[in-house]
Structures are given as C-alpha cells and as structure tokens.
Structure 1
Amino acid sequence: MSYIVEHSSGMKQIVVTQYYTASAWGSGLMDILATPAMIALAESTCMESVQGDLEKGMTTVGTKVNIEHLSPTPLGMTVTCKSKLIEIDRRRLVFQVELFDDKGLIGKGLHERFIVDADAFQQKANAKNESEE
C-alpha cells in the first residue's frame, strides 16, 4: 500500500496576510487569522507530510477535524503548524496537530485522513454531476 510509518511528522508555515483573515474568509469581521484558514493549514501540513510516501496515484482526503482555535493572531505574524501521525488503521490516518504564532500556541487538536485512489475518488465525485437525483 504505502511506506507510511507512525510518528511521521510535518511542518508548514504561513505569514498572516489579508488573504488569511476572518474578514476575507467570511468567518468573521476582524483582520486576524481566520479559523478556516488555520484548519486549512493543518490539513495541508498533514497531507504533505505523507503524500511522498504513498504509491503513485494515491492521495489522502480529509474526513474529520477536531481542532481548537485558542488565541488570535494579527496580520504580519508567522504561523507554524506541526503535525505528527499518531495512528494508522489500514487506510485511516490520525494526526495530532499544534499551531503556533510568534507568541505561542494558538491551536491544537486531531485531524483524520483516508488514503484513496485519486482517480477513482475524483470519478466518484464527478458522478454526482451526472446523477438525476
């Protein structure tokens, strides 16, 4: 299937620009890091941490997010996401994530992904456009 091992880890950083703010994402009115942007950073960090270990044509898709947003982050600060793969159950992967800004912890929690065949999964999604329901 793949060469993924438990305790694989990842790290990714962004600088909070207007693009990542709650006002831009529509999740709030303030120019601070949006919760959905923080979640997207966590998901991409987890995905990228294992993608290189998967067989050709395989990828992972997010299926569950349980992440707390603990502290606001203003424009200009760097946000770092650290992920650690803590559980593998066949195709199911569970990651622990922690997110930090320049002043400390801003988010933490768990994210679950499943390993899928990318083409087959895309075809399944596309079939929804073709159904008569």
Structure 2
Amino acid sequence: METGIKGTQELVVSKETSAKAVGSGLLDVFATPSMIALMEKTASESVQSYLEEGQGTVGTKIDISHVAATPLGMKVTCNTQLVEVDRRKLVFKVEAYDQKGLIGEGTHERFIIESEPFQQKADAKNDM
C-alpha cells in the first residue's frame, strides 16, 4: 500500500448524529463523536480494497480539532488522504466540511489487522 489514497464520504446532519442524541452535549448540532465516526469510516473504506483477503483495519489514534458547528439538515463532506505507511500502521490526514466551510481537521491512525484472529482475541476477553 502506498501513500496518496483518498476517500470521500457525505452525510446530512440529523437528529441521530446530533450532540444531544449521542450524549456529547445538549444542542442539535453535528456531534464531535459523529464527525470522528465519519472520519474513521471514510479512512477505513478508502483503503479496504488495497488489503489482502481476511485483513481489515482498526482505528488506534485520532487527533482532531472540531472548529465550527453544523446545524441539522446541512450536508457534511469528509475527505481523507493516506499520508504515511509504516508496515501495518497507516496515518491519514482527515478534514470535514459543511456547506459553509471547514468544520474539523486532524490526523487519524489505523493498523492493518488479520480480522479473524483479531476478533477471536477480543471475544476471548468474555471467557476470562
């Protein structure tokens, strides 16, 4: 996998993605956790087709600034770009925009994993 891979996703801010609904605040504006989820989804899906069968990625680090509020009903666009590949570590530049401009930006780190063993290890925690 090489740097430069880009991803784009869009959504319309809804009650379900609002700060009030997800518990991160009391207002009907796009929630920071919802923005981060969109950023993670965009990054993850952008590289999925470059992985080998049975592999996936998991988010391990995020450093984001949420710089502007977005009201219900407004479209948000997330753009990601893979800027660093270090063996299994992938680092993305992430940005989110509403129809008036930049609302969030930063970096997001993901690791390439073997999906089945990873899931089994996580599930084994229930047996302890």
Query: TM-score normalized by structure 2?
Result: 0.99
Unaligned runs of 5+ in 1: none
Name the amino acid aligned to 1:104: G
1:91 and 2:88 matched: yes
Alignment match, 2:118:
121
Instruction: Give the CA RMSD over aligned residues.
Output: 0.4
- Count of residue pairs brought into register by the alignment: 128
Name the amino acid aligned to 2:4: H
1:49 and 2:72 matched: no
Query: Which residue of 55, 58, 68 corresponds with 1:58?
Result: 55
Stretches (4+) displaced over 6 A = none
1:104 and 2:101 matched: yes
Q: What's the secondary structure of 1:27's corresponding residue? A: coil
Rounded Cα–Cα distance in structure 1 between residues aligned with 2:121 and 2:9: 30
Q: What's the secondary structure of 1:110's corresponding residue? A: strand
Rounded Cα–Cα distance in structure 2 between residues aligned with 1:130 and 1:7: 41
Name the amino acid aligned to 1:35: T
Deviations 1:94-124 (A, max 9, x none): 0000100000000000000000000000001
State the identity as a percent: 55
